[in-house]
Amino acid sequence: MNDNLQSLEYQFLNTSAVDRNRVLRNTYWLLAISMVPTVLGAWLGVATGLSHALSGGMGLVVFLVGAFGFIYAIEKTKNSAAGVPVLLGFTFFMGIMLSRLIAMVLGFKNGTELVMTAFGGTAGVFFMMASLSTVIKRDLSGMAKWLYVGAIVLMVGSLINVFVGSSAGMMAISMLSIAIFSAYMLYDIKEIIDGGETNYISATLNLYLDIVNVFQSLLALLGIFGGEKE
């Protein structure tokens, strides 16, 4: 009897591990694919000058309506065949939204170098958090409420700074954003590894948002501190 129970327990744990690995693998693949429409959206925004039309209050409204609309749609379709196309549509939209910051940085003499540095730095943060998530054995679910509070504070501060336009405020917000969303990367990957997140589309959305926030914050800091005027 005990042998049968142990065998069933082993089969359950083994199946559970296989499922978690599949979710993690699918998430990484979809995350990599999602970068393609992001780059296309950013290129389109810069090449067409659309990025200039997305400044100020109008750009903020378009971003908030579009982002929350897409996120709602992704959550509604994550268990259907439409989930992946909707997610990729969102990443294209985010590329367009990023184009304004990218266009500003590309206006510097060393703009291309700064963009590549931000990309490399973001990739480094992601691989570091992914590696840490496989080493840390403790449950990180307690981080969720603190990270959520930090994200709300960050959002409010960002909205205020849109109208204030403070460079010091931008630096503080960017550094806080890098810290919060790097921690979110660790938390989100650990959730997949521990079986807390079982839908790879939701998992990809969470990690994509982490990566985008780290990237744009790094790019903003590099533009402020390292931008060389023509």
| pLDDT tens, residue by residue, 167-179 | 777 888 899 999 9
Across 59-71, average pLDDT: 86
| pLDDT at residue 83 tops 80 | yes
| pLDDT at residue 13 tops 60 | no
For residue 43, give both structure tokens: 């290129």
Phi, psi of 166, rounded to the nearest 5 degrees:
-90, 130
- Within the chain, where are the H helices? 2-48, 50-53, 56-77, 83-106, 111-135, 143-164, 167-194, 200-226
pTM of the shown model: 0.88
In sequence order, which residues have a C-beta less than 8 Å from that of residue 62 and are 6 or more positions away? 54, 97
In sequence order, which residues have a C-beta less than 8 Å from that of residue 34 and are 6 or more positions away? 87, 88, 91, 204, 208
For residue 152, give both structure tokens: 């709300």
Q: Tell me the percentage of the chain whose pLDDT exceeds 90.
A: 48
By CB atoms closer than 10 A (0-12, 13-18, 19+), residue 138 is exposed
| pLDDT tens, residue by residue, 181-209 | 999 999 999 999 888 888 999 999 999 99
What integer pLDDT is reported at residue 228 of this predicted model?
Answer: 62
* Structure-derived torsion over alpha carbons of residues 221, 223, 224, 226, reported in degrees to the nearest 10: 100
What integer pLDDT is reported at residue 19 of this predicted model?
Answer: 80
Range scoring the smallest mean pLDDT among 12-21, 39-48, 108-117, 128-137: 12-21
| pLDDT at residue 6 tops 60 | no
Nearest to 95 by CA among 52, 43, 59: 43
Range scoring the smallest mean pLDDT among 67-76, 91-100, 120-129, 135-144: 135-144
For residue 107, give the amino acid letter.
G
| pLDDT tens, residue by residue, 111-165 | 899 999 999 999 999 999 999 988 888 888 788 888 889 888 888 888 787 677 6
* Structure-derived torsion over alpha carbons of residues 79, 198, 122, 29, reported in degrees to the nearest 10: -60
